[in-house]
Amino acid sequence: MKIEDPVISLSRPPLRSPRSDSAYRTNGNTKMSELEAPSVLQKVNFSEEGETEDDDQDSSYKSIWRLSQSQDFTAHEKQPSVQSSGYQKNPQECIEQNVRMRTRMQNDSIQKSELGNQSPSTSTEQLQNESFVKRKWGWWPLCLITILALGTFWFLHTPEVDTAAVQEFQNQMQQLMTKYQGQDEKLWKRSQMFLEKHLNSSHPRNSPAILLLTAARDAEEALKCLSEQIADAYSSFRSVRAIRIDGTGKAAQDSDAVKLEVDQQLSNGFRNGQNAAVVHRFELLPASSALIFYKYCDHENAAFKDVALVLTVLLEEETLGTSLGLKEVEEKVRDFLRVKFTDSNTPSSYNHMDLDKLNGLWSRISHLVLPVQPEDALKRGICL
């Protein structure tokens, strides 16, 4: 039996199926896809029955050759089939190139996913910061509008009672100025400004208004009339007269009894709606009884702060020169009261006046000291 040479059998023309002939053809070379390679291999392996062993051997060589060709085609599926140099790449190089390409694609996908994961958080933080800034600056206009509204309300809604009281007081003082033309302009200007300021002050007021008027002997009647009428002008809006306390004739009385009497008159009057009081001849009160005015004339702890007290002191001098300044007049009154209220023979005690207590009392009643001049038009006992 003659055995054919395998080399000679390989030189035979390869068998082609109709499907493989119609495969993709480029420059005379056949190109097969990975999906078609198994089917071709299967057709080659399973040939028709009746072929000889030699044909089977030939077909096995053919299948080996076709399988190697299909692997080359598969490795170079995405590469040009014919290079300019005529050299085809090694399959190992193609595999390494594919690995590098896959690694690069995976790295790109990881970077994109990281960027995608960071982007929402970054944008969220930016949105939160922008929202915080908007909320922070958004409160300022609201606060400003509230402050302006409160200021406007406070300015436009000043209590009508205080406004009417000030207007009535101004009217009464204007009438007194036309009647008592012998007085210095300082008396009207200072007294009106002082009492008007107290009427205009906020509620509750911090302290009472204390006005001290003084005069020489020739102006005793004017001192009495003006002190009462100024106190009445302060309370004119309430249509009530000011409380009147006269120190004349009380010097010889018991100091404790006088203190109790003065205390009751003032407290009862202020509680019953009177808001002004005049105390004539303050210097004639018993020295220790004058200590009751600590209670009513204190700057911060006065029993009644929405009130005005007008005190009068009649000096022993016959006349008071108009050339004296207000500071000199104040010193005259202070020295005079020191002589009247302090006595070296009187023991120092809680119920008696001494120099320290007098200085404390003076600081409370000397808010404003003004002189009164005589009025020729006055008749004894009759005010203008």
- Encode pLDDT of 296-324 as tens digits: 999 889 999 999 999 999 999 999 988 89
The pLDDT of residue 136 is 54
pLDDT of amino acid 296: 96
- Which one has a higher pLDDT value, 139 or 28? 139
Q: What structural domains does the chain harbor?
A: 6-78 (no CATH), 160-371 (3.40.50.12190)
Q: How big is the chain by its Cα radius of gyration, in Å? A: 60
CA distance 382 to 384: 7
pLDDT one-digit tens code per residue, 42-52: 443 444 444 44
336 and 366 in contact (C-beta within 8 Å)?
no
Q: What is the side-by-side strand order in the sheet with 209-215? A: 243-246, 276-280, 308-314, 209-215, 369-371
338, 103, 374, 73: which is closest to 215 by C-alpha?
374
Question: Can you tell me whether residue 106 is helix, strand or coil?
Answer: helix
CA angle 320, 326, 332 (to 5 degrees): 55
Higher pLDDT, 103 or 319: 319
User: pLDDT class for 84, splitting at 50, 70, 90?
Assistant: very low
Is residue 166 within 8 Å of residue 200, measured between CB atoms? Answer: yes
Residue type at 298 in one-letter notation: D
Quick one: DSSP state of residue 21? H
Residue 333, Cβ density class (10 Å: 0-12 exposed, 13-18 middle, ≥19 buried): buried
Q: Tens digit of pLDDT for each residue in 353-363?
A: 888 999 999 99
* CA–CA–CA angle 352, 280, 231 (5° rounding): 125
